[in-house]
A and B are shown apart, each in its own frame.
Chain A
Amino acid sequence: QSALTQPASVSGSPGQSITISCTGTSSDVGGYNYVSWYQHHPGKAPKLLIYDVSNRPSGVSHRFSGSKSGNTASLTISGLQAEDETDYYCSSYTSTSTLYVFGTGTRVTVL
């Protein structure tokens, strides 16, 4: 089972909105509503931003939102801030023998 496909990098100016895609197959992203998104500052503990495609845990900023269409999930960051500059990963349950798979990761740069 290969990792879910994310763009290597996405950039935007402060205040803008950006969207990170996460492409899988009907065996994972497209087949189940178990897509999660994480923010990961290198050397620190990853942070759960979105669970079950579009739900935010308590305490997560409303600037982060998730959605899904077919085999592709998306994370949108609105009102981009300097502190958002870091790595982001999607993940999903998969019906293959792998069971759970992460995306390839996206580095967000705030211009």
Chain B
Amino acid sequence: EVQVVESGGGLVKPGGSLRLACATSGFAFSRYSMNWVRQAPGKGLEWVSSISSSSNFRYYADSVKGRFTISRDNAETSVYLQMNSLRADDTAVYYCAKGYHDFWSGFDYWGQGALVTVSS
């Protein structure tokens, strides 16, 4: 059974940092891209970042570029999102999702999400 479990969410002050982790199991982790998607309160889904299977390629939404860093550990079958210089509009539920087919063919397994609240 495929499992995707996010952790590390919480309350942080504007300008602060937080590191999200996503632990996975049940599939050949090192063969698939991994992704982060977020949903702000009352809003729709927003793609945040993606990383290729071997970490050769990392992509970011314009809204987080230069502030967030995606990484992965294939030995630990985990992916991470380091979030720096956090702003109020980064407040959202952050989902970790497994890439399905080609790099941009969609995300087939998602976690339940981790809530990040940026507030003073």
Residues of A with Cβ closer than 8 Å to B? 1, 3, 32, 34, 36, 38, 40, 44-48, 50-52, 57, 89, 91, 93, 97-105
Contact = CB atoms under 8 A, between A and B. Distances in A.
Given A1-B62, A34-B102, A98-B62, A48 B107 contact: yes
A34 B105 CA distance: 5
A102 B59 CA distance: 16
Contacts of B26: none
Of B59, B105, B113, most A-chain CB atoms within 10 Å: B105
B64 to A, nearest CB: 11
Contact of A93 (B104, B107, B108): B104
A57 B97 CA distance: 15
Contacts of A45: 4, 95, 109-113
A46 B50 CA distance: 17
Contacts of A102: 37, 44-47
Contacts, number: 73
B104 A46 contact: no
Of B45, B100, B110, most A-chain CB atoms within 10 Å: B45
B45 A57 contact: no
B47 A100 contact: yes
A51 B104 CA distance: 9
Contact of B45 (A52, A93, A105): A105
Interface residues of B, number: 25
A47 B4 CA distance: 13
Nearest to A102: B45
A57 B47 contact: no
B111 A91 contact: no
B47 A101 contact: yes
A53 B93 CA distance: 27
Nearest to B107: A48
A3 B45 CA distance: 9
A99 B105 contact: no
A57 B45 CA distance: 20
Contacts of A48: 100, 106-108
B47 A99 contact: yes
A89 B44 contact: yes
